[in-house]
Amino acid sequence: MANKDRQKRSVRKARAEERARVEAARAASAPAADSKEAKKAEASKTVVKADKNKKPGFFKRIGNWFGDVKAEMRRVTWPSKTELRNYSVAVIVMLVVFGLVIWLVDSGIVAALVGYTGLRG
């Protein structure tokens, strides 16, 4: 595991260095920041960022949530009829088994308390 982590870190470091190199090359070839066009581009970026951070309305969020639920339900692998029946039988059997075990343990504890205290309840 340590070797994998080391490899991941070195890959991340190499990618970061590559990004820094590309950004430096872009900055060197870009026009001067004093130009009007550069200022307009910068101002439009801040407006776009403000729009992205704006929270959508209540009904839009509800609609998005239902859309996400619908998309997620399409991805679900639904069991076949026989699988569903087998799973249902298994659950019912386990409920009965655990119910019996709890009943036996409870009866044993009550019997032990009655025998120890001598009280009948």
64 pLDDT band (50/70/90 cuts)?
Answer: very high
Write the single-letter amino acid at 103.
W
- Look at the pTM and tell me if it is higher than 0.75: no
Tell me which residue has tokens 């991941």: 8
% helix, strand, coil for the chain, step of 5: 85, 0, 15
User: How many Cα atoms within 13 Å fall on the side-chain side of residue 3?
Assistant: 0
Q: What is the dihedral of CA 82, 83, 84, 88, to 10 degrees?
A: 100
Beta carbons within 8 Å of 66's beta carbon, 6+ residues apart: none
Domain ranges of the chain: 1-30
Query: Rounded mean pLDDT of the chain?
Result: 83
105 alpha-carbon distance from chain centroid: 40
Task: Report DSSP state, residue 55.
Answer: P
Q: Is the pLDDT reported for residue 93 higher than 70?
A: yes
